[in-house]
A and B are shown apart, each in its own frame.
Chain A
Amino acid sequence: EPEVTQTPSHQVTQMGQEVILRCVPISNHLYFYWYRQILGQKVEFLVSFYNNEISEKSEIFDDQFSVERPDGSNFTLKIRSTKLEDSAMYFCASSDGGSSTDTQYFGPGTRLTVL
Chain B
Amino acid sequence: KNQVEQSPQSLIILEGKNCTLQCNYTVSPFSNLRWYKQDTGRGPVSLTIMTFSENTKSNGRYTATLDADTKQSSLHITASQLSDSASYICVVSADWSSTLGRLYFGRGTQLTVWP
Could you tell me which A residues sit within 8 Å of B by CB distance? Answer: 4, 31, 33, 35, 41-45, 48, 50, 55-56, 58, 91, 93, 95, 98-109
Contact = CB atoms under 8 A, between A and B. Distances in A.
B1 interface: no
A55 B98 CA distance: 8
Interface in B96-115: 98-108
A31 B99 CA distance: 12
25 contacts: A31-B100, A35-B103, A41-B107, A43-B89, A43-B103, A44-B105, A45-B103, A45-B104, A50-B100, A55-B100, A56-B98, A56-B99, A91-B44, A99-B101, A100-B95, A100-B99, A101-B49, A101-B93, A104-B101, A104-B103, A108-B41, A108-B43, A109-B41, A109-B42, A109-B43
Nearest to B42: A108
Contacts of B101: 31, 33, 48, 55, 95, 98-100, 102, 104
A106 B95 CA distance: 21
Contacts of A4: 43
A100 B105 contact: no
A48 B101 CA distance: 7
